[in-house]
Amino acid sequence: MTYSRCGIVALTERKSRFLEIQTDRTSYLLGDVVLVTINAKMDHMPRYESVVLLVSCVGTISRTFTDVKMPPNPKVLSKTYFEMKNEFMNQNFPLSYSFSLPGTSPFTGEESSFVLSNSITSQIFKINAMHSYRIDLFVKQEGKIYLAEQKDIVVRRTFQQIQPSPSWNFEIDNFKIKIALDKPSYYPQENGFLLFEVNSKVQRSTSIPKISFNQTLIFNFDDQQIVVKKQIIPQMSLPAFQPYYYGKRPLLFKIPEGLPPSHSTPLFKVEYSFDINIDLFYEGGTQTPLKVVLKSTILAPPNLCGACVFMPLITNDFNPPSESILRPFWQEDKSTDTCGICGASFGLITRRHHCRRCGKVFCGSCCVDSVLMKDLGFDRPERVCKSCFKLIQSN
């Protein structure tokens, strides 16, 4: 009988089984160094031309696509994710060898089993994968290759994910905004918050910020890539940011339970993100739509086997900040027809002016002075009313 793996075809005869493979551990994480020792089973070994050591990760992947109008059409393929081959002419045993597991290969066992259905077309797409890591030991003798020994190794799922940047900054004309997550990764059922820091010097409100938490599945099968994006948490929103708003406003959320952890391998990816949409409006009627994507990492629950070794347990210490407003609210023009100091009526000649310190409405004569107010987030002198100007001068 013969055995084939990664292009090597070898005879499987009992007379060649004189060697054994030992590893320094029973299981590994991606990126770990594996120490291999080849020992002889007997004192007087037959002479070999060479010893070949093959380390490989092979996956069996099946895809099934079902349509209500057609029978299922399963397709199965075998994929080699990596292979390392070394030939040793040295016949002195024990023979030592070490190698590093790549950081982008799958883990041992069943990697995925997703069913994606479309209720309108009644289409179902299912993909499954089974991966194995194996060390094969071959010997060459009299021009023939024999399988001498095999050893499977276990590569565990790693819970240490790449931490994306959890914040986003934007500045245009007289508007600054920073959106940040309280941390880059979360467990299922854990609380968190998005913090909006806004410094607006615009006389119009923004649109209502709309936030969604989405999961993106990316499948790579053969030469085809399928991307499926779905919303995990119902759309959330915050009140619009008023004219000349300066402060911080949090949005609280809770990660649902049962989510698969963030994952990235050559076969498929599981990604999570907060998608934020907000529109800026200006006095001239122009509009700037902002579309922000903040990526986040979902960790495996700590009650999974072995997870607590790599990640701390979920803590109940959740103290989200409250809203902090550093400028008074901007008084609406239509809320008053007279100046707040002299009582003059507003019209075609007497125009409204807002004090940048108290936010109230005054006429041009009562709101004429300009003062630099860094404590309110201004970087240049701004118009203030007579009352605020006197208060600033006295302080």
**pLDDT confidence of residue 70:** 61
* Beta-bridge mates of residue 20: 39
In the structure, what pLDDT confidence band is assigned to residue 162 with cuts at 50, 70 and 90? very low
Do 328-394 and 19-145 have the same topology in CATH?
Answer: no
pLDDT at 387 over 90: yes
Structure tokens at 390: 């006197």
Quickly count helices (H) and strands (E) in the chain.
Answer: 2, 26
Query: Which of 223-227, 256-260, 361-365 is modeled with the greatest confidence?
Result: 361-365
The overall pTM is greater than 0.85: no
Helix (H) or strand (E) holding 394: helix 386-394
pLDDT for 265-322, tens place per residue? Answer: 666 788 999 999 999 887 666 778 888 999 998 887 654 433 333 344 455 577 889 9
User: How many angstroms separate the Cα of 279 from the Cα of each of 56, 197, 241, 276, 324?
Assistant: 52, 15, 10, 10, 22
Domain boundaries defined on the chain? 19-145, 167-325, 328-394
167-325 sits in which CATH class? mainly beta
pLDDT for 70-84, tens place per residue? Answer: 666 677 777 787 889
Is the backbone peptide bond immediately before 243 cis, with ω within 30 degrees of 0? Answer: no
Rounded mean pLDDT of 327-335? Answer: 88
Per CATH, the number for 19-145 is 2.60.40.640
Specify the DSSP class assigned to residue 391: H
pLDDT for 167-193, tens place per residue? Answer: 888 887 788 999 999 988 888 889 999
Burial of 138 (0-12, 13-18, 19+ CB in 10 A): buried
**The listed CATH number (3.10.20.600, 3.40.228.10, 3.30.40.10, 3.30.2320.30) that belongs to domain 328-394:** 3.30.40.10
User: How many angstroms separate the Cα of 302 from the Cα of each of 24, 36, 159, 254, 360?
Assistant: 26, 31, 10, 17, 53
**pLDDT confidence of residue 123:** 58
User: How many angstroms separate the Cα of 27 from the Cα of each of 32, 157, 297?
Assistant: 10, 10, 25
